[in-house]
């Protein structure tokens, strides 16, 4: 798909063969001739991101290539391409819209601005100041207001989608991805579980994407910046979604007492359960303009250690110098020297010479002691080193002496790699893997051959170079689509493949008895020893029942069965009467209600005889009111009566064969 540059060819190969996000050579056309890969920036559950340079302009872009599994989905690539085309070319300072969209070598990709400042998710590991929070909130509100004026909804607002450029300006990325998931019938939280943290309550009930969902997600982002956590968490996306619908969020100040009251009020207003009560993006932008970004202390999430407003102090070095100067005592003034008589001078001088001589002698003696002590310590060290060295050399000599000069290579062909290593080690030899090869007759990890051969006498400690089997070579899976089951069995037998489970299911287009699915999938690599699962079509699913509900008809009316052969004398069909004195079915309060329903069902035309059953569950319990085997294409009409307390419900279930076709409540 793209041409790589310098030493990045191997690192940008993506998934490798089979066309899964691969980056082809410089000879490719299209995007490959226009971009040069500078490096692989990262990989997520949906995209592989490359840092590329446009050859014509030299400008650096971010190229996002859809991962292989999503490229093979029957609906998602087309839905994603349609959504990206709608968002392509949007010009707003806080929106990172796709620049170019394309599909090459079966891989969908688009390019966008290269944002090197990281994401808000990366910045949430530390405490954010009030000014930083207001800047993030203002940029998001500005971008959302601009989008909502044009009837566009981002749909996937999360901290990891809020990116910063080199100058620190925030931009909303991956806009419209949630719409592609919805159009393809996929759940975004199943692919990216952290998306459930930011899911609006109405979205959990199946509502379509709308601007209030963006405002709810922005409220979760603000809550996380204020409290250091999301308002609702759980072990699974489903449990989180249920909490979004039913639980009331605790105020951020419950987790962070230093949370500003004005920002807390905005967060709780954005997290309203009722979408109509949430503040709009335009109104939020006007409200933020009235707030003072410099007011208040720094907002510190629980567990963060930081100082909100440090007082100005002198440097630590200056403080230390001042302390030392203050501890010095004032210098004392010595008294004048008294003049000594001339007669006492010689005696004093002699006494001073003796004192100087004694001090010099003591100093020399002290130096000699230090020297002898150092020499003694050094000698002890040498003796210890010599002793340990002698012990080590003696042990090594004895070990070498005990080894034979020549050893016989043991039998190692046919052993597993670990067993061969242990067996050769006992003989004083080491194993080295020279190469690996496919061998259908040898299990994976088995030694196929080696040099020197078993039985030869060689020097001890020599390496034995071996060839390891990789097992059976993979082949390409055959496509069994729409083949009859017998034909598929014949092909599997002819190619020495292994047939695994055979299951059946209804299919709208594949005829009954033909293959409508398989595993492993067609054209994928597999080994012949792996079992092949075939899915056989049961034909079209039987038509749904047509249930006509109504109050019980007069008592003299009888059930109607349009097909006379549908009546079974062995299966009684109970009919309940209405309470006396009220034959029309208009029951008085507190009494039971009896209803009648006409059930019509047709067995599949391309199937064999099928057992048709009608099962009723009401106040009289659960019972079978109709059970008979009908031929293919038979039409059955059966009137059933159910009785239940007023305000309660009864259930009628229709089975064709072992499949539940319809379940109706009355």
pLDDT of residue 324: 33
Q: Taking 50 as the threshold, does the pLDDT of residue 558 lie above it?
A: no
* Same-domain status, 90 and 165: no
Per-residue pLDDT, 342: 37
Query: In the prediction, which pLDDT does 26 show?
Result: 32
Whether residues 465 and 480 share a domain: the answer is no
Whether the upstream peptide bond of residue 650 has omega within 30° of 0, thus cis, is no
364 pLDDT above the threshold of 90: no
- DSSP 8-state class, residue 75: S
The label of the residue with tokens 């092949």 reads 532
Residue 309 lies in a domain: no
Q: How far apart are CA 3 and CA 14, in angstroms?
A: 13
| Same domain, residue pair 126 and 222 | yes
Tell me the C-alpha distance between 598 and 596, whole Å: 7
Does the pLDDT of residue 267 top 90, yes or no? yes
CATH code of the domain containing 426 = 3.30.10.20
25 pLDDT higher than 50: no
Tell whether the torsion through CA atoms of 523, 528, 529 and 531 is positive or negative.
positive
Q: Which parts of 403-508 fold into alpha helices (H)?
A: 417-426, 485-494
Whether 346 is in a domain gets the answer no
pLDDT band at 565; cut points 50, 70, 90: very low
> Is residue 557 scored above 60 in pLDDT?
no
Residue 550 within any structural domain of the chain:
no
* Residue range 388-415: mean pLDDT, rounded: 81
For residue 206, what is the domain's CATH number? 1.10.510.10
Phi, psi dihedrals of residue 44, rounded to the nearest 5°: -120, -165
Smallest CA-to-CA distance from 139 within 156, 111, 163 is with 163
pLDDT exceeds cutoff 60 at 578: no
Indicate if 143 and 261 belong to the same structural domain.
yes
Does 181 or 21 have the greater pLDDT score? 181
Query: What band does 554 get if pLDDT is binned at 50, 70 and 90?
Result: very low
Asked which of 445, 469, 493 is the last residue of a domain, the reply is 469
Mean pLDDT check: name the lowest of 1-5, 271-275, 307-311.
Answer: 307-311
**Do 575 and 602 lie in a common domain?**
yes
390 in a structural domain? no
CB-based contact 228:256 (threshold 8 Å): yes
Q: What is the Cα–Cα distance from 109 to 71, expressed in whole angstroms?
A: 10
Token pair 């006498």 is found at 457
Question: Is 80 exceeded by the pLDDT of residue 19?
Answer: no
Report yes or no on 480 lying in a domain.
yes
- Domain termination residue (choose one: 77, 93, 113): 113
**485 and 461 belong to one structural domain:** no
Whether the pLDDT of residue 542 is over 60: the answer is: yes
- Are 429 and 465 within one domain? yes
Three-state SS at 530: coil
Q: For residue 593, give its domain range.
A: 564-665
Task: For the chain, give the mean pLDDT.
Answer: 77
pLDDT in tens, 94-145: 999 898 888 888 888 989 999 989 999 999 988 889 999 999 999 999 999 9
pLDDT band, residue 538 (cuts 50/70/90):
confident
Q: What percent of the chain has pLDDT over 70?
A: 76
List the single range of 250-264, 395-409, 528-542, 628-642 with lowest mean pLDDT: 395-409
Query: 597 and 630 share a domain?
Result: yes
Does the pLDDT at position 30 exceed 80?
Answer: no
How far, in whole angstroms, is CA 435 from its chain's centroid?
A: 36
For position 239, what pLDDT does the model report? 92
Cα 157 to Cα 85, 229, 614: the distances in Å are 19, 16, 49
Structural domains of the chain, count: 5
CATH of the domain at 601: 2.60.40.2560
- Cα angle 596, 598, 602 (rounded to 5 degrees) comes to 155
For residues 247 and 234, what is the distance between their CA atoms, to the nearest angstrom?
12
Q: Is residue 301 part of a domain?
A: no
Is it the case that residue 546 has pLDDT exceeding 50?
Answer: no
Same domain? 180 vs 283: yes
* Angle formed at CA 99 by CA 95 and CA 102, multiple of 5 degrees: 135
What is the model's pLDDT at position 8?
36
Residue with tokens 């088995």: 446
> Residues 183, 276: one domain?
yes
Looking at the structure, tell me whether residues 49 and 175 fall in a common domain.
Answer: no
Domain boundary at 420, 436, 469, which?
469
The whole-angstrom separation of Cα 557 and Cα 551 is 13
Indicate whether 169 and 231 sit together in one domain: yes
Residue 259 maps to a domain = yes
The answer to the question of residue 270 being in a domain is: yes
Supply the CATH number for residue 81's domain: 3.30.200.20
- Identify the band that residue 23 occupies on the pLDDT scale cut at 50, 70 and 90: very low
């Amino acid at each position: 798909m793209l041409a790589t540059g310098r030493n990045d060819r191997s690192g940008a190969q993506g998934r490798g063969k089979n066309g899964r996000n691969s980056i082809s050579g410089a000879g490719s056309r299209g995007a490959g001739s226009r971009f040069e890969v500078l490096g692989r920036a990262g990989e997520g559950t949906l995209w592989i991101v490359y840092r590329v340079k446009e050859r014509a302009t030299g400008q650096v872009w971010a190229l996002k290539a859809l991962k292989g599994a999503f490229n093979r989905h029957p609906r998602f690539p087309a839905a994603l391409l349609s959504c990206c085309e709608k968002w392509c070319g949007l010009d707003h300072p806080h929106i990172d819209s796709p620049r170019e969209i394309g599909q090459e070598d079966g891989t969908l990709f688009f390019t966008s601005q290269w944002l090197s400042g990281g994401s808000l998710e990366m910045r949430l590991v530390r405490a954010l100041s009030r000014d930083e929070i207001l800047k993030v909130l203002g940029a998001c509100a500005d971008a959302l207001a601009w989008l909502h004026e044009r009837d566009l909804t981002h749909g996937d607002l999360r901290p990891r989608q809020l990116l910063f450029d080199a100058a620190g300006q925030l931009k909303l990325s991956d806009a419209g991805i949630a719409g592609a998931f919805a159009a393809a019938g996929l759940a975004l939280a199943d692919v990216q579980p952290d998306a459930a943290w930011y899911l609006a309550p109405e979205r959990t009930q199946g509502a379509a994407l709308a601007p209030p969902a963006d405002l709810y997600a922005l409220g979760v982002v603000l809550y996380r910046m204020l409290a250091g956590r999301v308002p609702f968490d759980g072990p699974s996306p489903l449990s989180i979604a249920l909490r979004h619908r039913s639980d009331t969020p605790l105020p951020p100040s419950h987790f962070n007492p230093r949370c500003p009251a004005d920002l807390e009020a905005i967060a709780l207003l954005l997290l309203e359960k009722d979408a109509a009560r949430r503040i709009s993006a335009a109104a939020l932008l006007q409200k933020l303009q009235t707030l003072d970004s410099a007011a208040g202390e720094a907002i510190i999430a629980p567990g963060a250690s930081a100082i909100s407003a440090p007082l100005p102090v002198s440097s630590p070095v200056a403080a230390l110098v001042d302390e030392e100067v203050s501890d010095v005592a004032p210098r004392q003034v010595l008294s004048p020297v008294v003049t000594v008589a001339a007669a006492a001078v010689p005696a004093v001088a002699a006494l001073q010479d003796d004192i100087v001589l004694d001090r010099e002698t003591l100093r020399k003696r002290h130096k000699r002691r230090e020297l002898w002590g150092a020499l003694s310590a050094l000698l002890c060290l040498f003796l210890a080193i010599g002793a340990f060295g002698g012990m080590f050399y003696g042990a090594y000599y004895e070990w070498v002496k005990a080894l034979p000069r020549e050893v016989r290579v043991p039998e190692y062909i046919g052993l597993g790699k670990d067993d061969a290593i242990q067996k050769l080690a006992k003989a004083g030899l080491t194993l080295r893997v020279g190469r690996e090869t496919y061998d259908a007759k040898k299990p994976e990890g088995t030694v196929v051959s080696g040099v020197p051969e078993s039985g030869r006498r060689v020097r001890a400690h020599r390496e034995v170079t071996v060839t390891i089997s990789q097992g059976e070579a993979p082949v390409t899976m055959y496509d069994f689509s729409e083949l009859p089951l017998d034909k598929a069995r014949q092909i599997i037998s002819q190619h020495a493949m292994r047939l695994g489970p055979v299951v059946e299911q209804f299919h709208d287009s594949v005829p009954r008895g033909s293959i409508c699915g398989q595993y492993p999938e067609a054209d994928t690599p597999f080994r012949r020893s792996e079992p092949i699962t075939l899915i056989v079509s049961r034909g079209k699913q039987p038509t749904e029942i047509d249930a006509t509900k109504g109050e019980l008809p007069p008592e003299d009316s009888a059930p109607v069965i349009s097909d006379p052969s549908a009546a079974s004398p062995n299966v009684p069909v109970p009919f309940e009467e209405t309470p006396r004195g009220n034959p029309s079915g208009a029951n008085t309060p507190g009494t039971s209600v009896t209803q009648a329903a006409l059930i019509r069902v047709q067995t599949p035309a391309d199937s064999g005889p099928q057992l048709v059953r009608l099962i009723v569950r009401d106040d009289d319990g659960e019972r079978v009111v109709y059970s008979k085997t009908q031929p293919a294409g038979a039409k059955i009409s059966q009137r059933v009566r159910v009785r239940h307390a007023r305000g309660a419900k009864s259930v009628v279930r229709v089975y064709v064969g072992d499949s539940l076709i319809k379940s109706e409540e009355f």
